[in-house]
Amino acid sequence: MVGSGIAGLAAAWELTSRSSDASVTVFDPGPPGGKIRTTQFEGRAVDEGPDAFLTRVPEAVQLCAELGITGELVGPAAGSSMVWWGGRLRPLPDGLVLGVPGRLSAIARSGILSPFGALRAGLDLLLPRTEIPDDLSVYDLVAARFGKEVATRLVDPLVGGIHAGRTDELSASATVPQLVSAARRSRSLLLALRTMGSAGPTGPVFLTPRLGLGRMVEVLVSKLKERGATFADRAVGPLAPTAGGGISVDGGERYDGVVLAAPAPAAAGLVDAVSPSAATGLREIDHASVVVVTMSFPAGSVPVPEGVNGFLVPRTAGRLMTACSFASAKWPHWGTAGRTLVRLSAGRSGDERAIGLGDDTLVERLSEELGIALSQRLPAPDSARVTRWAGSFPQYSVGHSRRVASIDAALASDQPGIALAGAAYRGAGIPACIGSGRRAAGILLAMTSPGRDRGLGVG
């Protein structure tokens, strides 16, 4: 495996689950987990990057079951989300699916849309079916059905927030395939989503191990070692074909197959020599940078709205902050007596201000914005932790799925034995990354002949 993020680890898990004779090496210069990083903050294990996974997409729930840690999973405290719009925090209306309204009365009452915007949203029920091309931007899809206000005030903060991207650039088929298929199936998107919503699963939408997502990584690494996988803490250099078939890593060790689970820009550098066209395609996938600032305030000094887990900030609000999680309200196990924890995010595609600011400035500016949102002057936080995630969010621009299919095809024809996995291709959430790792392992296993001692993996 090249890369020990969750995609690379999932690939190693799949290989060792399906083939007892596979010899697997996982290369990574950094600690296992990649963007999953749980560290101590104020005496508690608090995630610095992702803090939970979706349950609707089953791969993470399934992996936790295989690892025997299902009993350790907890959901967020029941709570709602808000959006910072028009100078104050407003509850997100009920019935939204990725920001798209499922109930018109709820969005009309929310105050997030103007009366004209609410009326325009209702036109979805009357307009003829929208012809959906092969791909289009999320913004174009939503604005065609519900108008610009729903697209900029509801869908952009939610979908743009998930991807740290711009909905006028993000591919609808790659980021919101469920909306595209609903729009293709039905004349009214609202009516199609209402049917989907009522058929949805029950239980928490998100889960996470009580000791943080790092716990999943810790158990996975330990069980992989029990199965004989080797962990090499170094970066892999350019890959090259070897004379008798197979792939060499750094001009040295030879492997039957390689799962390339490093981020796309790093993966491009590794396949330059074996597949220039795959490398070009990989470099076309842009990435956005974000910063996560975790702050601890004395309890009572932050007026957290009752039953609210956090709020989103639309791009058009022009703030540095993109989202706020009332972390100790959302995850009670993160709380310590007498302390209120918040996690504030900044940075998205086209807004690189945050990544360039110093730690003190970030803490000062973001806590000041938090005070404005909550209409209360806040004290300086007692402690703060700044985590910079440079180039961390792959941007699935319009045409992404076709681009990924051509990269896969180029690699398969230029250098069979290399399979891609990770956030840059078919979903950036943890479940999708796990799925991509398992899929890549399956591709390698299908290519290697049965009964042969398999050096996989391997980077």
Ligand X SMILES: Cc1cc2nc3c(=O)[nH]c(=O)nc-3n(C[C@H](O)[C@H](O)[C@H](O)COP(=O)(O)OP(=O)(O)OC[C@H]3O[C@@H](n4cnc5c(N)ncnc54)[C@H](O)[C@@H]3O)c2cc1C
Residues forming contacts to ligand X in the complex (CB under 6 A) are 2-8, 27-30, 34-36, 49-53, 235-236, 261-263, 266, 290, 292, 389, 392, 422-423, 428-430, 433
Name which of 5 and 335 has its Cβ closer to ligand X. 5
Smallest gap from residue 429 Cβ to ligand X (A): 4
Considering the complex, state which of residue 35 and residue 145 has its C-beta at the smaller distance from ligand X.
Answer: 35
Q: What residue has token string 């009366």?
A: 115
Give phi and psi for 269, each to the nearest 5: -65, -30
CB of 43 to ligand X, least distance (A): 22
Contacts of 14 (CB under 8 A, 6+ apart): 437, 438, 441, 442
Exposure of 458 in the CB half-sphere (CA atoms within 13 A): 26
Q: Which is nearer to ligand X, 27 or 297 (CB)?
A: 27
Q: Which is nearer to ligand X, 179 or 262 (CB)?
A: 262
Q: Are 317 and 89 in contact (CB under 8 A)?
A: no
Helix (H) or strand (E) holding 80: strand 80-85
Distance CA 100, CA 188 (A): 12
Instruction: Please say which residue, 145 or 388, places its beta carbon nearer to ligand X.
Output: 388
**Min separation Cβ 337 and ligand X, Å:** 26
The distance of closest approach from Cβ of residue 161 to ligand X in the complex, given in angstroms and rounded to an integer, is: 10
The minimum distance between CB 312 and ligand X, in angstroms, equals: 14
> How does strand 38-41 pair with strand 308-312?
unpaired
Q: How far is the CB of 265 from ligand X (least distance, A)?
A: 9
Nearer to ligand X, 260 or 445 (CB): 260
- 206-209 and 73-74 beta bridge pairing: antiparallel
User: In terms of C-beta distances under 8 Å and separation of at least 24 residues, what long-range contacts does 368-377 make, across chains too?
Assistant: 369/319, 369/320, 369/321, 369/344, 370/302, 370/321, 370/324, 370/342, 370/344, 373/84, 373/88, 373/89, 373/311, 373/321, 373/324, 374/89, 374/302, 374/303, 374/305, 375/88, 376/302, 376/303
Q: How far is the CB of 91 from ligand X (least distance, A)?
A: 21
Secondary-structure percent of the chain, ordered helix, strand, coil, rounded to 5: 40, 25, 40
**Which amino acid does the sequence have at 84?**
W
Q: Which residues make Cβ contacts (< 8 Å) with residue 227, sequence separation at least 6?
A: 16, 24
User: Closest separation between CB of residue 162 and ligand X, Å?
Assistant: 8
3-state secondary structure of 408: helix
Q: Give the integer Cα–Cα distance in Å for 234 and 250.
A: 11
> Least Å distance between CB 9 and ligand X?
8
Shortest Cβ 218–ligand X spacing (Å) = 15
Query: CB of 30: closest distance to ligand X in angstroms?
Result: 4
Pick 129 or 353: Cβ nearer ligand X: 353
Dihedral (Cα; 317, 321, 325, 326), 10-degree rounding = -90
* Residues constituting the chain: 459
In this complex, which beta carbon is closest to ligand X, that of residue 120 or of residue 343?
343
Nearer to ligand X, 29 or 87 (CB): 29
Identity of the residue, 262 or 374, whose beta carbon is nearer to ligand X in the bound complex: 262
Phi, psi of 255 (to 5 degrees): -130, 150
Nearer CB in complex with ligand X: 83/428: 428
Nearer to ligand X, 180 or 217 (CB): 217
CB contact set of 447 (below 8 Å; sequence gap of 6+): 256, 257, 416, 417
Taking the complex as a whole, how short is the minimal distance between the CB of residue 21 and ligand X, in angstroms? Answer: 24
3-state secondary structure of 197: helix
Distance CA 135, CA 403 (A): 12
- Report the alpha-carbon distance of residue 317 to residue 208 in Å, rounded: 31
